[in-house]
A = this chain, B = another copy of it.
């Protein structure tokens, strides 16, 4: 092991993913020499404790990267487009969590457990895939290697933390309001009912929109699900859905792979879940898939349905492994397999994956 220590910049250090990046850097004892915490003007004056020291949050500017070895970006695509090349120019290697460079042909898009070899071609910037893509492919890559996946169908159940800390606040605030005042008739009274059917009707639709003009999710999320993550494109898919298609193809190096997805936001704070169906070229039994997943890096197989054991977001949240379960033959097609995954979108879906990439970079400079 190298005893060398590195100067690390974290861009977007006060955001949901940035905060988690700091946590992961500390937990994994990344060999840090100097630490620059960078954020927008909004965070001016803040201080963040890391280990035993207190660091100021500095405004993001090109000079911030002078002397930095590694820069972890998670401040949105426009910041990355502007500042990642500046960081590279100043000698830093960038691991970028935004979508800015993911599909650029000269930028590796890396999940360490899946395609660490792609790192070797980097030219200063490495892209971290979308959270939903990472969580799906950690589970699917070992199956693809064994039986060659021909088609993937995936429906997501994405937590609000994927839309940032403000979306978590939206869920929190709306839930409180819905329980308190906005048309929720306490089910307690329902159970006693007996006073006419009009008693019934728990439909907590909030009257107004969430206040403060901040509402980061496009609709009410409390006691609701929203079949929209990110914006809509011309083909009627959302950007999130197409990210899953395009990033999967790039990471698995299968430009023609058939992939379709529906991305849905659910009222969960942390951890995304996904229902997936795959069709493979070669037959793959549930037993064989279980064996592969049992041995797969980054996977925790949680699959004893009869004893109530399957992946849940409340269990996967806070963990670095992707929880995989509900494995079963999809009898609606030849060589079909269905499964269910849950993974922490802020950790393995973002921060942990980025730090793992940084670890690989310092091992193989």
Contact among B169, B191, B236, B340 with A286 in the assembled complex (CB-CB below 8 Å): B236
Known contacts A157-B264, A197-B48; is A269 also within 8 Å of B151 by CB?
A: no
Whether the Cβ atoms of B318 and A201 lie closer than 8 Å is yes
Asked whether any CB of chain B lies closer than 8 Å to the CB of A255, the reply is no
List residues of chain B with CB within 8 A of the CB of A191.
Answer: 165-166, 169
Within 8 A of B (CB), among A190-222: 190-191, 193-205, 218-220
Whether the Cβ atoms of B187 and A179 lie closer than 8 Å is no
Asked whether any CB of chain B lies closer than 8 Å to the CB of A311, the reply is yes
Bitwise interface map of A from 164 to 203 toward B, beta carbon under 8 Å scored 1, else 0: 0110110110011001000010111011011111111111
C-alpha gap A266/B222 in the complex (Å) = 11
**Do most interface residues of chain A lie in helix, strand or loop, or is the interface mixed?**
mixed
Whether the Cβ atoms of B227 and A197 lie closer than 8 Å is no
Nearest-CB distance from A142 to chain B (Å)? 19
Whether the Cβ atoms of A200 and B23 lie closer than 8 Å is yes
- One of A13-21, A59-67, A74-82 contacting the partner: A13-21
Contact among B16, B187, B205, B317 with A317 in the assembled complex (CB-CB below 8 Å): B205
Contact among B48, B176, B225 with A179 in the assembled complex (CB-CB below 8 Å): B176
Whether the Cβ atoms of B197 and A23 lie closer than 8 Å is yes
Closest chain B residue to A166, Cβ basis: B191
Whether the Cβ atoms of A313 and B224 lie closer than 8 Å is yes
Bitwise interface map of A from 285 to 306 toward B, beta carbon under 8 Å scored 1, else 0: 0100000000000000000011
Known contacts A203-B314, A338-B262; is A232 also within 8 Å of B197 by CB?
A: no
Copies of the protein in its oligomer: 2
Whether the Cβ atoms of A225 and B273 lie closer than 8 Å is yes
Whether the Cβ atoms of B187 and A165 lie closer than 8 Å is yes
Whether the Cβ atoms of A336 and B47 lie closer than 8 Å is no
Asked whether any CB of chain B lies closer than 8 Å to the CB of A93, the reply is no
List residues of chain B with CB within 8 A of the CB of A48.
Answer: 193-197
Known contacts A194-B48, A195-B48; is A260 also within 8 Å of B318 by CB?
A: no
- One of A110-118, A130-138, A326-334, A352-360 contacting the partner: A326-334
* Partner-B contacts on A (CB < 8 A): 14, 16, 19-20, 22-23, 26, 43, 46-50, 57, 151-153, 155, 157, 161, 165-166, 168-169, 171-172, 175-176, 179, 184, 186-188, 190-191, 193-205, 218-220, 223-228, 232, 235-238, 258-260, 262, 264, 266-271, 273, 275, 277, 286, 305-306, 308, 310-315, 317-318, 325-333, 336, 338, 340
Additional A-B contact list (17), CB under 8 Å, known A157-B264, A224-B312: A19-B190, A19-B197, A48-B194, A57-B194, A151-B333, A161-B202, A168-B187, A169-B187, A172-B179, A218-B308, A219-B308, A225-B313, A227-B340, A228-B305, A236-B328, A260-B336, A262-B275
